[in-house]
Amino acid sequence: MTMTFAQASSAALPILLTSPEDCEDTLAGLPEAQAQWAAFHNFTGALGQSLVLPGDAMARVLIGTGTAADRARKRFAIGAAIAALPEATYALSALPAGQGEEIALGYLLSLYRFDRYRSQPRPKARLVAPDGIDADRLLLIAQSEALTRDLINTPAEDMGPDALEAAARALGAEFGADVRTVEGADLLKKNFPLIHTVGRAAAISPRLIEMTWGDTGPTLTLVGKGVCFDTGGLNLKPGASMGIMKKDMGGSANVLGLARMIMASGMAVRLRVLIPAVENNVAGNSFRPGDIFTARNGLTVEINNTDAEGRLVLADALAYASETPPDLLICMATLTGAARVAVGPDIAPFFTDDDPLALALSASSAAVADPCWRLPFHDAYEPMIEPGIADLDNAPAGGMAGAITAALFLRRFAPVPRFAHFDIYGWQRTNAPARPKGGVGQGIRALFNALPEVLSQ
């Protein structure tokens, strides 16, 4: 099944949604046989609880909406319960106020399967697009999220810098965007020294991927970390930490998913996407702890940990983006473990000095069930990223405020009026409603929803 809604049909089975508070009244309104069936099966309206009621042709389905607190803890559970129903076409007879889009999107996202390497059983329930929602918009969001998930889930053997470039080119071709790259030794010739440094030890050459689309409206530049696999370099990661490092290009996967949303919706914006695509590998020409390099913008960087490579490749890309200052510059990266310690795997922390942007993102995050949280560019920590021997330190000692110091490092390369950096995880650790274990989009639905307001400010 593709990620889509079913055509409206008179044969669609109605779905009744009910909360624990309203369950008694809902059951009282059913035919006696169906009410007895629900009582026999102890249907209480708990979140995600579903029950097919008997009738001439399975006359209707009950699904519990739980309490508001339940839904806050377990988003998309109602849509996931619909997707798990037996094969048939279903229609929601009524939608709870303010929940329609989340339910419908939860259904669509629950249809996702990563089946490149193994066939996966797919949901067979078909849902008619509920009244009162923008079905086309939800479809393009779900399809774009699927792109992000596919890119992250694909192992590095099949998703190296060259394959990431191919994915960007395929997306560009779909929507008429221009895609070009700077690769290998040309990175040095064209002054992208840090991208070259990080990727030079890998078998597949490093590159900067650039996509442009649109010729009217405000300018928006998206920069995504594209470290297709991260061994840690000479500061080699332990094996247990390397296991999911195929996801270290999650920033690039997320900006490509967001770019697809923007292009598919026809948003009036001049879009630019920059992806420094590398593998951080080990060889005789690996960069070393103690080395000092000069970035594109002229700042010198001392390498105190080769496993803090993401901020290096992003530095060149952000400096390049800032040479033609956009109206809004967004950076997304699976950057620090410190961000996970601070907010856990489910929340996308972001940094910005722009209060209206932060307020818009926070409101959008709540509106579309895409958790984001603002963390500070704390100026008092600036000395922590200044080693003395060079302008900047890529890995300050002490382990304190690691997400903030990484964000401060990136800000040195983004001297533009409006800048936000997202330090995402990009990975779902366990199965959850509409979010199977594996790659996941974080922050991009909130951004997509907020962009019209933000770009008009």
CA angle 377, 378, 379 (to 5 degrees): 105
Greatest Cα pair distance in the chain? 81
Q: Which residues are catalytic?
A: 237, 311
The length of the chain, given as a count of residues: 457
SS (H, E, C) 310-362: HHHHHHHHHHHHHCCCCCEEEEEECCCHHHHHHHCCCCEEEEECCHHHHHHHH
- CA contacts within 13 A on the Cβ side of 376: 6
Beta-carbon contacts of 383 under 8 Å, excluding residues fewer than 6 positions away, are none
> Residue 198, Cα to own-chain centre: how many angstroms?
24
Instruction: Count Cβ neighbours within 10 Å for each residue of 407-445 and write b for 16 or more, e otherwise.
Output: bbbbbbbbebebbbbbbbbbbbeeebbbbbebbbbbbbb
Instruction: Give pLDDT tens digits along the chain (457 positions).
Output: 578 999 988 889 999 999 999 999 999 999 999 999 999 999 999 999 999 998 865 689 999 999 999 999 999 999 999 999 999 999 998 888 889 999 999 999 999 999 999 999 999 999 999 999 999 999 999 999 999 999 999 999 999 999 999 999 999 999 999 999 999 999 999 999 999 999 999 999 999 999 999 999 999 999 999 999 999 999 999 999 999 999 999 999 999 999 999 999 999 999 999 999 999 999 999 999 999 999 999 999 999 999 999 999 999 999 999 999 999 999 999 999 999 999 999 999 999 999 999 999 999 999 999 999 999 999 999 999 999 999 999 999 888 999 999 999 999 999 999 999 999 999 999 999 999 999 999 999 999 999 999 999 9
Q: How many CB atoms lie within 10 A of CB 246?
A: 23
pTM: 0.97
Amino acid symbol at 16:
L
Structural domains of the chain sorted by starting position, each given as residue range(s) with its CATH number in brackets = 13-111 (3.40.220.10), 139-456 (3.40.630.10)
